[in-house]
Amino acid sequence: MKTFKNALLAAAATCAVLASPVLAKQAATTVAIDAAQPGPVIDRNVFGQFAEHLGTGIYGGVWVGKDSPIPNVRGIRSDVVAALKAIKVPNVRWPGGCFADEYHWRDGIGPAEKRRVQINSNWGGVPESNAFGTHEFMDFAEQIGADPYVSVNIGSGTAAEAAQWIEYMTAEKDTTLAQERAANGHPAPWKVPLLGLGNENWGCGGAMSAGHYVEEMKRFANFTRNYNPAQRDGEARMKRLAVGWDSDKLDYTEEVAKAWKDHVYSWDIDGISLHKYTTGGWPPHLPGSGFGTEDYAASIADTLTMDTLITKQSAVMDKYDPAKKLMIAVDEWGAWLAPTPGSNPGFLQQQNSLRDGILAALNINIFARHADRVKVANIAQMINVLQAMILTDGGKMVLTPTYHVFRMYVPFQDATFLPVRFTAGELMLAGKTLPQVDAMAARDKAGQVWVALVNVDPDAGTSVTLPGYRSAAGEVLTAPRVDSINTFAAPDAVKPAPIAGKAGGAGVTIALPPRAVAVVKVSN
């Protein structure tokens, strides 16, 4: 029987272009859940978000200012906060991205009219007002109920600057920086659960060699001390994440893991990052809407290579960390497509279709299968940029298909992974061999079993039988076409609908429509 793992390996392979775009289909799938052999917990932080100072991701997407006619709380738009609270965002990575390694935190504190205005040289060459700084970000995170994931500037900053920023955010009392924070409006220290030590320092973060980055990273890890008394020990302590994977190169991962294995008492890290975008080939060129079968197949095949990349990085880390004390943080992932026509190409604005919802589900399922290593992931990006949850235009807001997948997957946050056995099937699409069906299961803290199902086939439905269960009910996300999108004029063109299974002698069977993502609660 072809397992899903084998299907994933096949997904990346291409074959000769065939006359018919779809040659092999699977009429039915049996998904057997091994509830007696639970795996690791699917950390809620794999559902993290990413908010960089890029395009209208922050300004217009999150921040509209206190005097805006758009409803807001202290300048942060209320409609966006409500939508993000509904998907229980666990953490938000900020201020970047490439922007992080040019960000100097003092530019973003104090009276807004006195903050430095600079050019955002990474993204569009537009002025950056620094109106959204540390206090505004922390307020935003608190409003949506998320933990801050702060990236410090290794590229153009200093260890002293980073250390002072962490002190400013976390010192409890009686230091000059804590008093300055209080004078700026926040007497109590904040918690900083996650700290990124740079970003892509092999590229936009300074074009450093792996060895040079490791030496810098060790200094920053040593001096970035968290002073919040609630974060000094145990699981509550701040986790430091180093830079890893570099565009199919593992030199950063190798050097960081090797250094950590023999690290001295004065520094430590808790994980290594991995960045992977679904592009279908570089530079990003696939359209966000109006695409055909060939572009859809290229996107699916590319996104499935996430499994291979995690496996490769895990293998390197296993050499130095067989006990798996270090996590993988996939803190940039998602579809990177061609910019929306007429937009500033440096703003990375793109549409978000049903295809992107399918891509999100496939990636989350992969993270769940690697839950022993993957503890953090951040989709890029939260609002108006790349594979966004939300699109805004002035006072208007629309939820994307990707948003709906994240909301449907909320039950998997901190749930226990349950192994599944199934035949993925082979879908021959535009010359690529893809798995037709994907499945993932987990048990939540209340003991309820949840199953996620994906039908990759853009044209044909299938039935899925879950042996040993008598009922299945939940939601399904589909639409008339894989390139169906939500717009401000038609915001509900792609939205979830109820779905339920039918009990039979073999178990409960679900009729899964084509091009669909379903999440169901099952019971005996």
Q: What are the tens digits of pLDDT across the range 44-71? A: 999 999 999 999 999 999 999 999 999 9
Q: Mean pLDDT in the chain?
A: 94
DSSP 363-402: HHHHHHHTTTTEEEEEES-SBSSSS-SEEEETTEEEE-HH
Q: Apex CA 156: angle with CA 167 and CA 185, to 5°?
A: 35
Q: What are the tens digits of pLDDT across the range 274-320? A: 999 999 999 999 999 999 999 999 999 999 999 999 999 999 999 99
Rounded to an integer, the average pLDDT of 88-105 is 97
Cβ–Cβ < 8 Å for 506, 433: no
The pLDDT value given to residue 25: 59
Lowest mean pLDDT among 70-74, 248-252, 431-435: 248-252
Distance CA 8, CA 20 (A): 22
The pLDDT value given to residue 16: 25
CA separation, residue 79 to residues 55, 71, 72, 407 (Å): 19, 8, 8, 16
The pLDDT value given to residue 248: 75
Residue 192: what residue type? V
The neighbouring-strand residues paired with 521 are 450, 473
Lowest mean pLDDT among 12-16, 70-74, 172-176, 186-190: 12-16
Nearest-Å Rg of the Cα atoms of the chain is 23
Cβ–Cβ < 8 Å for 310, 5: no
Residue 209, CA atoms < 13 Å, CB-side half-sphere: 3
Quick one: tokens of 44?
Answer: 């809620």
Confidence of residue 10 (pLDDT cuts 50, 70, 90): very low
The pLDDT value given to residue 26: 62
The pLDDT value given to residue 246: 73
Rounded to an integer, the average pLDDT of 364-382 is 98
Active site residue 200: yes
Cβ–Cβ < 8 Å for 401, 494: yes
Tell me if the bond preceding 292 is cis, omega within 30° of 0. Answer: no
Which residue segments constitute the domains of the chain, with CATH numbers given? Answer: 4-39+424-523 (2.60.40.1180), 44-414 (3.20.20.80)
503 phi and psi, to 5 degrees? -75, 145
Cβ–Cβ < 8 Å for 386, 336: yes
DSSP 423-485: ---EEEETTEEEESEEEEEEE-TTS-EEEEEEE--SS--EEEEETT-SEEEEEEE--SSTT-B
SS3 for 105? helix
Res. 178: pLDDT tops 70: yes
Query: Which of the following is catalytic: 136, 254, 332, 426?
Result: 332
Rounded to an integer, the average pLDDT of 345-370 is 98
Q: What are the tens digits of pLDDT across the range 24-34? A: 456 789 999 99
The pLDDT value given to residue 245: 84
Res. 161: pLDDT tops 60: yes
228 phi and psi, to 5 degrees? -65, 125
Residue with tokens 């030590």: 197
Closest CA to 393 of 476, 491, 307: 491
Rounded to an integer, the average pLDDT of 3-29 is 41
The pLDDT value given to residue 217: 98
**If you count them, how many residues does the chain have?**
524
Res. 187: pLDDT tops 50: yes
Backbone region of residue 237 per phi and psi (left: phi > 0; alpha: psi in -120 to 50; beta: other values):
beta
Strands 76-77 and 91-94, sheet pairing: unpaired
- Record the pTM: 0.93
390 phi and psi, to 5 degrees? -140, 140
SS3 for 169? helix
Cβ–Cβ < 8 Å for 284, 338: yes
Query: Which of the following is catalytic: 128, 136, 200, 254?
Result: 200
